[in-house]
Amino acid sequence: MDPMLAAKLALEQEVAAPLFTACSLYIAEWRDYQGNLPYFARLQHTSAIEAILTRHYARVVMVVTGRKPDQEGRLEDAALNYLHAQRLQTRAREQAAMIIAGVDREIAKARLSVQEGKTEDIQMETKESFVTFTIRMATSFIETAKKAVQALAAKIGAIANVQTQGPAEEAVIEWVDDNKDADSTIFNVWVTMKDDRVRDWHSEAEGQERRLNVPFDVGGEQLRYPGDASLGASLRNLINCRCSLSFIAVDANGNRRDLNLPTPHAPTRSTRTPGQPLTSNNGRFQPTELVTLNGTTRARIVLGDGKTLANLRQVKPDTVVISINRKPIARATFKNGKITSMQVDPKHQSQGIGEMIRRSVANSFNRGNR
């Protein structure tokens, strides 16, 4: 397998699990609020997905440009220039909002499916009928959430592909632009996998040659590189795309030579096998690494054992409380990105709560001072 394709596939598999977990937690909170999810809660879930994408984009850029990816996933360290970092940060914010909107659509479709054939106009003249109605409504929300998660599981691979392909190809273009000879003109060429999985209009784009950053015509849409949505390309051109670019340098005399691209650095190898549910090992979820704190943050988090859900609440701008079933298990205060005091229930000392809070505080402080 081509090293670049192998790296992309590994990166897709790497991000699929945390994205699935984050979206599932959003669906779970929608269920708990019976469809009336507060704005601040939705915003918090969007921020959590943005943080996942920001870290993922940083790792993608480092891998495809031949550098060892770090665990922090800082765009300022990974991006090839300031504008590249800004574009990636904007993309993470916009894509997070789009992912949440997509989950909302799946919830709406699941809700409609559950309601079909059921009569909503129920007379509640007695206490018994009110209890029956309440139970039925709660069951309806549970069934809706279950269907929405099933739909999400079927699509998470395509979502992970979209969140990897574009940033990877753009990073290669940035690398080529930074490493080109001053007296050469760079052309990029659209390359497909040349198999029966390639969609017809991508096959038709095979071999198209353009000057660097001049868009290709792919199925009547404009794309600067495979996976590029910046010029309005639709999902039919983006989802599950495995195309790539090759590059040609043409000197002043018209001589052409193929450019050698950096050898991708192998990302962290995933242990998930094909067909295995999109959770971390042993059927557990990916523990929450950090939460963006905005002064009034509320978030559902996964503790270090990968299976325990807890609620994080920023009760004051400088105070965070984590609880399970409304029982506090941790409390921390902080100032200027540093923890000033922290108490964690001894039963949960091994759950990584302290480190998660420290990362969240430091990350949120750094974001606010950029």
The confidence score (pLDDT) of residue 338 equals: 93
pLDDT of residue 136: 59
| Cβ atoms 209, 187 nearer than 8 A | yes
Cα–Cα nearest to 65, from 2, 7, 6, 1: 7
Considering the entire predicted model, what is its pTM?
Answer: 0.69
Which residues partner with 331 through β-bridges?
321, 343
174 CB neighbour count, 10 Å cutoff:
18
pLDDT in tens, 278-298: 344 444 567 788 888 888 888
* 122 pLDDT higher than 60: no
Domain boundaries, the chain: 3-176, 183-258, 281-368
- What pLDDT does 127 receive? 47
How does pLDDT run across 51-95, given as a tens digit for each residue?
Answer: 999 999 999 999 999 988 877 778 888 999 999 999 999 999 999
Lowest-pLDDT range, 139-143, 262-266, 326-330, 334-338? 262-266
pLDDT at 168: 95
pLDDT at 135: 60
State the helix-helix crossing angle for 3-32 and 127-179, rounded to 10 degrees: 150
pLDDT (0 to 100) of residue 115: 79
Amino acid occupying residue 130? F
For the cut 70, the answer to whether the pLDDT of residue 130 exceeds it is no
Half-sphere exposure at residue 227, Cβ-oriented, CA atoms within 13 angstroms:
27
Q: How far apart are CA 210 and CA 40, in angstroms?
A: 45
Confidence label for 182 from pLDDT (cuts 50, 70 and 90): confident
Residue 268 tokens read as: 């962290």
- Above pLDDT 70, what percent of the chain? 88
Which of the two residues, 353 and 292, has the higher pLDDT score? 353
Average pLDDT across the chain, whole number: 85
Q: What is the rounded distance in angstroms from the CA atom of residue 361 to the CA atom of residue 355?
A: 10
The reported pLDDT for the residue numbered 137 is 63
**Res 349 pLDDT > 60:** yes
User: Distance between alpha carbon 161 and the CA centroid of its chain, in Å?
Assistant: 10
pLDDT of residue 276: 40
* Amino acid 118: pLDDT: 56
Which tops the pLDDT comparison, 180 or 144? 144
Give the model's confidence band at 183: pLDDT under 50 very low, under 70 low, under 90 confident, else very high: confident
pLDDT at 1: 60
Mean pLDDT of 253-270: 78
Give the tens place of pLDDT for each residue, 303-321.
Answer: 888 778 788 889 999 999 9
